[in-house]
Structure 1
Amino acid sequence: MAGETPITVIGNLTADPELRFTPNGVPVANFTVASTPRTFDRQTNEWRDGEAMFLNCSVWRQFAENVAESLSKGMRVIVNGNLKARSYEDRNGNRRTSYEIDVIEIGPSLKFAAAKVSRNQSSGGGNWGGNSAGGQGGWSGGNGGQGGNWGGNPGNQGSYNNGDANRGGGVDPWASAQTDEPPF
Structure 2
Amino acid sequence: MSGETMLTVRGRLTADPELRFTPSGAGVTNFTVAVTAQKFDKNTSEWKDQPTKYWRCAAWNQGKLTRAENIANLLKKGDNVIVYGELTTREYEKDGEKRTAEEIRVETIGKDLTFHGQAYAAGSSEQPPAAEDPWATPPASTGGWPEQSSPPF
Structure 2 vs 1, CA of residues 23 and 89 (structure 1 numbering), >3 Å: closer, same or farther? closer
CA distance in 1, matches of 2:52, 2:23: 35
Uncovered stretches (5+) of structure 2, i.e. residues with no partner: 119-153
CA distance in 1, matches of 2:2, 2:108: 19
Percent identity over paired residues: 51
TM-score (norm 1): 0.56
More strand by share: 2
**Residue aligning to 1:180:** none
Q: Secondary structure at the match of 2:7?
A: strand
Q: Which amino acid aligns with 2:102?
A: Y
Q: Of the two, which has the highest radius of gyration?
A: 2
Structure 2 vs 1, CA of residues 6 and 114 (structure 1 numbering), >3 Å: closer, same or farther? farther
Which runs of structure 2 are paired with 1:6-21 in the superposition (5 Å)?
Answer: 6-21=6-21
Q: What do the CA deviations read for 1:16-57 (whole angstroms, capped 9, x no partner)?
A: 100111122222110011111101223223221111111111
CA distance in 1, matches of 2:23, 2:38: 42
Q: Secondary structure at the match of 2:116?
A: coil
**Residue aligning to 2:29:** 29
Distance apart, 1:92 and its partner CA? 7.3
Aligned equivalent of 1:106, options 109, 123, 139: 109
**Residue aligning to 1:78:** 82
**Residue aligning to 1:66:** 70
Structure 1 stretches (4+) deviating beyond 6 angstroms? none
**Residue aligning to 2:3:** 3
Uncovered stretches (5+) of structure 1, i.e. residues with no partner: 116-184
Equivalenced residue count is 114
Which runs of structure 2 are paired with 1:109-128 in the superposition (5 Å)?
Answer: 109-113=112-116
TM-score (norm 2): 0.67
CA RMSD of superposed structures (Å)? 2.0
**Residue aligning to 2:124:** none
**Residue aligning to 2:55:** 55
Q: Secondary structure at the match of 1:69?
A: helix
Structure 2 vs 1, CA of residues 21 and 92 (structure 1 numbering), >3 Å: closer, same or farther? closer
Higher relative contact order (CA 8 A, sep 6+): 2
Distance apart, 1:64 and its partner CA? 0.6
